[in-house]
Amino acid sequence: MKFECGDLDRALAVPDLMPDALLHAKTCPACRRELRLWNEISRTAGQLHQEWDSPDLWPRIREALAAEPKPSKPWWRSWYWLAVPALALGIFAAVLLRPPRRAEPVRGRSFLTEQALQEVEQNEAAYRKSIDKLSELAGQKLETTESPLAVSYREKLVLLDSAINDVKATLSRNRFNAQLRTELAGLYRDKQKTLEEILTRDSKN
């Protein structure tokens, strides 16, 4: 692949491309300047870290903490330590004295949760499919142009895809994590919006 100035931003996002970028920068002053600035930002940021002695701070905090009303004990805490062993003993006795029973198929809450999750996954797959179609259309438009805007869009899509894959990998380890599902849906929405922007912009031009 021949590295060009337009590839620089992508190289900054994808470390694998950095050797090519460095090689290109040797002969390109503009990219050399951008790369230097990129590294300079991190170096200068380190200088923004500030620490200082503040001998009055801790006494002030201690005073404020002392003035705080004491949190009231929840009602169950007062007999909690007595109740826990009693409850454990009760459960132990119940398990020992329970007559043996034949195993029944798993029903109820876990079954419903699994079913609900399957529905979510089906909807997600349908959504992903429609985004893939959009992606194909937008990809064709992006491939034919080398404008800085197109490069920027390509880059954004690479980042979004990488974030989507990341979340999906985490989700595969815990399919029931609702927060990650929301995050994934958000990323898909971002991707859809970006693809729509590409297509609309193109049809306007």
Q: Which residue among 6, 20, 32, 38 contacts another protein (CB under 8 A)?
A: 38
Instruction: State how far the Cα of 169 lies from the Cα of 165, in Å rounded to an integer.
Output: 6
**What's the min distance (Å) between Cβ of 159 and another protein?**
5
- The tokens for 12 are 């900054």
Measured CA to CA in angstroms, residue 22 lies from 1, 17, 34, 67, 159 at distances of 14, 9, 11, 59, 21
Instruction: State how far the Cα of 177 lies from the Cα of 169, in Å rounded to an integer.
Output: 12
x/- letters, 7..26, toward another protein (CB under 8 A): --x--xx-------------
User: What is the footprint of another protein within residues 169-198 (CB under 8 A)?
Assistant: 170, 179-180, 183
Cβ distance 152 to 9 under 8 Å?
yes
Dihedral sign of CA atoms 44, 46, 48, 50 in order: negative
Nearer to another protein, 38 or 127 (CB): 38
Nearer to another protein, 71 or 100 (CB): 71
Q: Of 150, 183, 179, 178, which Cα lies nearest the Cα of 164?
A: 183
User: What is the footprint of another protein within residues 71-130 (CB under 8 A)?
Assistant: 71, 74
Q: Which residue among 47, 110, 174, 203 contacts another protein (CB under 8 A)?
A: 47
Contact positions vs another protein (CB under 8 A): 9, 12-13, 34, 37-38, 40-42, 44-50, 52, 54, 57, 60-61, 64-65, 68, 71, 74, 159-160, 162-163, 165-167, 170, 179-180, 183
